[in-house]
């Protein structure tokens, strides 16, 4: 991510959950099946159980709070982490760089990352996957599904509640594409809005 994109997420922290909840600037968006699929996503995240779990780019902890076990969240945004800590008091939260994870090799059983991988350009995404595999035995990536007539690679203009406008790099994935990038991963969810893939060898049970 660029410096400007990192600043955007810091500024967006207190309205980030509007995207999931369909509130705020997202209240008027037409997203058929969105709320039902968010619930499916939360159920899937809840099924990831282990002794130790790391959520990279955890944001406000919207997904993190549904993980079960010794949970650690990492994000570059102090504002996001402040909300996540309130949401999951029992969790450990670290401000850090997802491309240089501040953890020992094989420290976690699971690494989960939601809506982060698709913001990475080359070679950052290769570095992130290498770091993910270094610190965790099992890796699960959650991201945005590619829909019909949707360009797979975009530079989006996003508007915040204060009217400010920001440019954000974003990729959208078919299940097959994301699985291929993770190394013949297992597709855990292939919906209209989300795709979830576990890197090869990672299974929920």
CATH code 3.40.50.970 for 3-198: no
Q: Are 197 and 112 in contact (CB under 8 A)?
A: no
Residue 202 has pLDDT above 60, yes or no: no
What distance in Å separates the CA atoms of residue 174 and residue 172, rounded to the nearest whole number? 7
Q: Give residue 203's pLDDT band: very low, low, confident or very high (50, 70, 90).
A: very low
Helix (H) or strand (E) holding 176: helix 175-181
Q: What is the mean pLDDT of residues 84-104?
A: 96
pLDDT at 204: 42
Least confident of 6-10, 80-84, 114-118, 186-190: 6-10
Res 4: pLDDT: 86
pLDDT for 183 equals 85
- Give the start-to-end residue ranges of the domains of the chain: 3-198
Half-sphere exposure for 163 (CA within 13 Å, toward CB): 0
């Amino acid at each position: 991510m660029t410096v400007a994109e990192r600043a955007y997420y810091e500024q967006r922290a207190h309205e980030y959950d509007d995207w999931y909840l369909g509130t705020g600037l997202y209240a008027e968006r037409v997203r058929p099946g969105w709320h039902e699929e968010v619930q499916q996503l939360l159920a899937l995240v809840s099924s990831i159980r282990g002794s130790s779990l790391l959520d990279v780019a955890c944001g406000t902890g919207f997904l993190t709070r549904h993980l079960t076990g010794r949970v650690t969240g990492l994000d570059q945004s102090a504002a996001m982490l402040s909300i996540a800590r309130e949401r999951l008091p029992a969790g450990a939260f670290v401000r850090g760089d997802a491309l240089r994870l501040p953890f020992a090799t094989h420290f976690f059983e699971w690494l989960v990352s939601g809506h982060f991988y698709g913001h990475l350009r080359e070679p950052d995404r290769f570095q992130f996957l290498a770091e993910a595999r270094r610190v965790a035995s099992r890796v699960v990536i959650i991201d945005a599904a590619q829909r019909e007539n949707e360009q797979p690679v975009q530079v989006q203009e996003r508007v915040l509640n204060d009217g400010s406008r920001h440019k954000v790099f974003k990729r959208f994935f078919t299940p097959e594409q994301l699985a291929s990038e993770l190394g013949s991963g297992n597709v855990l969810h292939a919906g209209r809005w989300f795709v979830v893939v576990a890197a090869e060898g990672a299974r929920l049970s």
